[in-house]
Each structure stands twice: as C-alpha cells, then as structure tokens.
Structure 1
C-alpha cells in the first residue's frame, strides 16, 4: 500500500518572462523539447485550437499576439503550459518527475531569447517613476531648478516610459516566420541603445553625487 497522489493548486512550477519576440525557430525548439520527451502537444489561442504551427500561420497570419503551447503526458491531467501574450511569456508546469526536465529545458530555451533591454521595458514602472519625479523634484528643489541635471531627472523616466510602451507594442507575441525574415529595430539596436542610455544616465547621476559630496 502507498499514499494516493493528489494534485494541489500550488503544487506547480512557474516562471515569467518580459515581452520577448519569439520566432518560428524558437517555437520549433520548444515543441521539439516536448516531443523528445514523449509529450502530447496542443496549440491554441483565445478562440481556436490548431493542428500545428503551419495551421496557426495559415489562419492567423505571420504574427499572433496570443498563443498557448500545452504539453501533457499520455493519460495524465498534468501538463506544461507555455503562454505567450503581448504582456510577456509565462511557463507553468505541474510538479511531476516526467515534466521537470522538459520544463527546465524550455525555460533555458526562452531565457536565451530574452534581450537585456527587455527587463527594463516596463511601462507601469516608468510612469510611476515619472510621476514621483514630477512631484518630489520641485518639492525638494533638487536637482536645482534650471540645471541640466533637473532636465535629465525629469526627461529620462518620461523617455523610458515612451520607449517601453513602444517596445511592448513591437516585441510581444509570436512571429510565425524565421528571425531573418522579420525586420526588427530591437533585434538590431535594442541592446546597444539600452546600454548607451544607461551609461549616460549613470554618468549624470555620478556627477550629481560627486558635486553633492564636494558641496557644490
């Protein structure tokens, strides 16, 4: 005799990723991971189920904002779900010995596709920072009114908010094409742009700190 196995609501693995452009080859890699482990695949969006990726492309076009890949073992209610939306990617799995290895492999496959700048492209965060700056900077008059650093303090978070809105709009969802078939501003310049802006801001902040310490 042995204890009966039961499924609990929190008995699962979960991982979330920021909006990241995924291409046909990325989906094929994820699908192959599941197939190699003997898992059954179901592909769907909010309205319909599809036979395969070609069926998705035929009925939804070259790009789709929402797509779910569900992998399950034969005769089992436990599954791995890869849900892709405009807001990001979620990877969920029931805690099961058979599902743990493919879940980790899928997690690695998605992680390597997440660009560095994606982790900073959060519109809600940047609009909150912008509002805080607009309220606190005039109240404490620091950086001083009319100074270059005050303009930086106010304009940078506002700029990042607009930039993140653009990024989320352009990068969420799935391309049913190979990466080289899709022209993307972020694929070419996103990481360089993020590091350049970050360097400028850090330099400006460093100058402010130094001047503050020296009492200027």
Structure 2
C-alpha cells in the first residue's frame, strides 16, 4: 500500500559540516521522521521557504508542524519579553502558509510544541512567553512528565488518560484560539494539548510536549497517519 506523504516543517540554521564551517542548512531532528515512518507515513521535509510552500502542500496528504524556536510575539499582538528568543520570520511565514493550505484542503494537521502554539495563534490565541517552572532543569534535555488527558477526545483516544510525554518548553498557551478546545493539561493547569472543537472537522490536534519522543505517543501518530490515508475532508 502506498504510504501517505507527510510534510514535516523544518528549521533553518548554520552548522559545521565535515570540513566546512557555517553551512546554511534546513534541518529536522530524526525522531520526527522515525515516528512518521513507523506509523506508516512517508515524511518529506518542508523547508522555511515560503515561495515553495504551496506547491509542496498541494501534493502531500498531511502536515506535521514541528517544534523549535519561539514564535514572533508580534503575531499574537505582543512585545517580546525578557526571556523571548529572537524570532525566525522566514519560518513563521512558511509555516503559516503551510497551515493555511492544509486547512483549505482539509488534510490532517498535527502540531508539536511550537506547532500547537502556531495553530492556536492563527485563531487569535496568545502565549505565555515564559514558564520558568516548566523550563528544563538542564537546557537541551527533554524531561519526562505525566499529563492528564480528557478521555472522550481525539487525544484521549490515542494517548489514554495519563501518558508520559517529553517536555522542553519555556512557553505555553495563554489564551487558546477560537475553534479549539483544550484536552490535555499538566498538573498545574498548563495546556498540554488541544484539538478542533468540532469533532466532525478534519483531523487537527497538537501537543505542547515533544510527541516525536517516547512510546506513549505512538498511537497519536498512528491516528494521524490513518486520517491521512482517508484523504482530504473538503
């Protein structure tokens, strides 16, 4: 059976590559690709090049919006606070364009960390720019955390009521965007997951945690790929 093709948003940075220094690259952590492949999909990287986004998105079956750098606070009507990292305008623009095409076509969308935040922002949502109690004890290391998930929800059906997820977030959702409903929370009430409020709408969900990691999120990726196999909903 042909695997559904999943566009996975990539970041852009510079790296030292073999004997070369400061090489400009579009990059994505391998676990995203592994999780999509293991769930039955065929991942392709979607670089932050807004000019190419629509042509790619017209040819894929689903969109996975990956984690990464802070979103420009101007997109949710705020000024950058003390702890906000510099924005990546090209990535913001490319992902907003990709999300717009995915929604117009009615193909499944899954957001991870930054991805969930951007989904919410496009619907008028805002972010809490710094959550020190949720920042990792060791920068660059994900921390396991058990979250609470609403059982009668898309996320609940895939994750169960209390999955262990892996977190590395210093920001989170403040006001959730219109048309979305929170369906997962941390012990202190921070929104850890949200999805389309209308259960008949095309697959649209996101986790604040890094769902590309760990075993408890496997079923969520499988549900995402199954929705991609079903084809566009519009």
Q: TM-score, with normalisation over the residues of structure 2?
A: 0.24
Specify which structure has the higher proportion of helix.
1
Q: TM-score, with normalisation over the residues of structure 1?
A: 0.25
Specify which structure has the higher proportion of strand.
2
Higher relative contact order (CA 8 A, sep 6+): 1
